[in-house]
Amino acid sequence: MTIANGAPVRVGVFGLLGSGNLGNDGSLEAVLGYLRLEHPEVVVDALCGGPEVVTARYGIPATRMHWYRGEYRTASRAGSIAAKALGKLVDVVRTAAWVRRHDVVIVPGMGVLEATLPLRPWGFPYALFLLCATGRLFGTRVALVGVGAAAIGNRPTRTLVRWSARLAAYRSYRDTPSRDAMRAMGVDTARDEVYPDVAFALPTPPASAPSGPPGRVCVGVMAFHGGNDDRARAEEIHRRYLDGTTRFVRALVEDGRPVRLLTGDEVDAPVVAAILDAVDSPLVTAAAPASLADLMTEMAAADTVVATRYHNLICALKVGTPTLALTYAAKSDALMAQMGLDAFCHPAREVDPDRLLEQFRALEKRSAELRRILTERNLAAVRRLEHQFTALTAALFPATDHDHALRETP
């Protein structure tokens, strides 16, 4: 695809990509799949958190999002505080220069308009605002594609997020609560559409043979400390989550069930280690998947999944495995309702292992029925995402001389 002067369309992708979060990288992979299939002539590069990983894994040039490499570490000394402040100024110039080189910038999925996990306004929200503001300044179309949003209490963060959304040329959301949240924050969403999370467009691994009785249970864990408004009691929330999850895993082992612990981000590893140490059974094993494809492969081989991270839930639901969600935000509840499993949600902030075990057993009793429901809902999700990508093409990519020639050829 080329623009009027014959140059290829330049597409940038933006986000905390290559930084250890499998969900973010899975969203990037889904959008790259769309670009390579529908627009193979575009030139793609990234402005992201982990440029070396993105280049090695996806074969596209990548630039570091922040000039200051310690952006997401707490600055306590005068030198690091000064360096972080300087970085904010340098990033204005760097972001503007990067945006100006592109015709289109896509923010692929991810919860970029929410603060359901701890978030400082001058971190990613500031970076997103710079992207959208400079896109508007230079005429580069910025698209927020299938993103997550939620009501934000912190005023600076809310302001940055609201203006980022207003300045974007295109917006779509991964669930209805996300669109409702942006409307409540003062964004005109009349033309914004809701589609399934873009990760549902990823290839699904082949179905695995049943693991045999007693079947394996995959437990997706998370370094969960509550949300942005829970900082004062973050450690208490984490201890309660870890204790409840550990007791649940121990109960499964006492029933003779093999348990596979899974992560969705590099920061989850200490939770896995703590559960392994506390339960200390050969029935409990662990894996650190390197991609959503790896996660799906693990979950396809399980009888049942219990998971916390949003994209762990997506992987389990996408492969059709009956799933119980430890939910920490409206996005998880909305996803489970969308897939017909809203009866199987449990609050991550208040894990009650006895109640969780009851829900788990009820889930397994309905396993065959739920697998049929998930098959139907997955087909519907794929069809909706076809509409998402068609709408994205219409909104972002201008008609080219080549396109006109094709249309005018008898």
pLDDT score recorded for residue 237 = 95
Quick check: 72 pLDDT over 70?
A: no
pLDDT score recorded for residue 73 = 59
Pair 113, 142: CB distance under 8 Å: no
2 in any annotated domain: no
Q: Is 244 found in the same domain as 186?
A: no
Q: Is 227 found in the same domain as 104?
A: no
Question: Which residues, in sequence order, are CB contacts of 349 under 8 Å at separation 6+?
Answer: 226, 230, 237, 240, 241, 328
Quick check: 402 pLDDT over 70?
A: no
208 in any annotated domain: no
Q: Give the pairing of strands 62-64 and 217-220.
A: unpaired
Q: Is 93 found in the same domain as 25?
A: yes
pLDDT score recorded for residue 409 = 32
Pair 151, 185: CB distance under 8 Å: yes
pLDDT tens-digit profile of 104-135?
999 999 999 998 776 788 889 999 999 999 99
pLDDT score recorded for residue 78 = 64
Tokens of 371: 């697998």
Q: Is 186 found in the same domain as 49?
A: yes
pLDDT score recorded for residue 126 = 93
212 in any annotated domain: no
In order, the DSSP letters of 116-164 are SS---TTTHHHHHHHHHHHHHHHTPEEEEEEE-B----SHHHHHHHHHH
Say which range, 85-89, 132-136, 140-144, 343-347, has the weakest mean pLDDT. Answer: 85-89
Q: Is 243 found in the same domain as 166?
A: no
- pTM given for the model: 0.89
14 in any annotated domain: yes
95 in any annotated domain: yes
Q: What is the CATH number of the domain that holds 23?
A: 3.40.50.2000
Q: Which long-range contacts (CB under 8 A, 24 or more apart) does 358-365 make?
A: 359/324, 360/248, 360/252, 360/304, 360/306, 360/324, 363/304, 363/322, 363/323, 363/324, 364/303, 364/304, 364/322
Q: Is 255 found in the same domain as 165?
A: no
3 in any annotated domain: no
User: What is each CA distance from 63 to 18, 50, 55, 112, 139, in whole angstroms?
Assistant: 11, 8, 9, 19, 21
Residue 283, domain extent: 217-365
Pair 308, 222: CB distance under 8 Å: yes
Label residue 15 left, alpha or beta by phi (over 0 means left) and psi (-120 to 50 means alpha). left
210 in any annotated domain: no
Rounded Cα gap, residues 7 and 42, in angstroms: 10
**pLDDT over 70, % of the chain:** 90
Q: Is 295 found in the same domain as 157?
A: no
For the segment 307-324, the average pLDDT, to the nearest whole number, is: 97
Total tally of structural domains belonging to the chain: 2
Tokens of 245: 């999850």
Q: Is 255 found in the same domain as 306?
A: yes
Quick check: 75 pLDDT over 60?
A: no
For the segment 373-386, the average pLDDT, to the nearest whole number, is: 97
Q: Is 300 found in the same domain as 346?
A: yes
371 in any annotated domain: no
For the segment 230-255, the average pLDDT, to the nearest whole number, is: 94
pLDDT tens-digit profile of 2-33?
554 668 899 999 999 999 999 999 999 999 99
CA angle centred on 226, ends 350 and 359, rounded to 5°: 30
Q: Is 264 found in the same domain as 238?
A: yes
For the segment 149-176, the average pLDDT, to the nearest whole number, is: 95
For the segment 300-316, the average pLDDT, to the nearest whole number, is: 96
**First vs last C-alpha separation in the chain:** 21
Q: Is 92 exposed, middle or buried (0-12, 13-18, 19+ CB in 10 A)?
A: middle
Q: Is 294 found in the same domain as 196?
A: no
Q: Is 265 found in the same domain as 391?
A: no
Tokens of 138: 């230079």
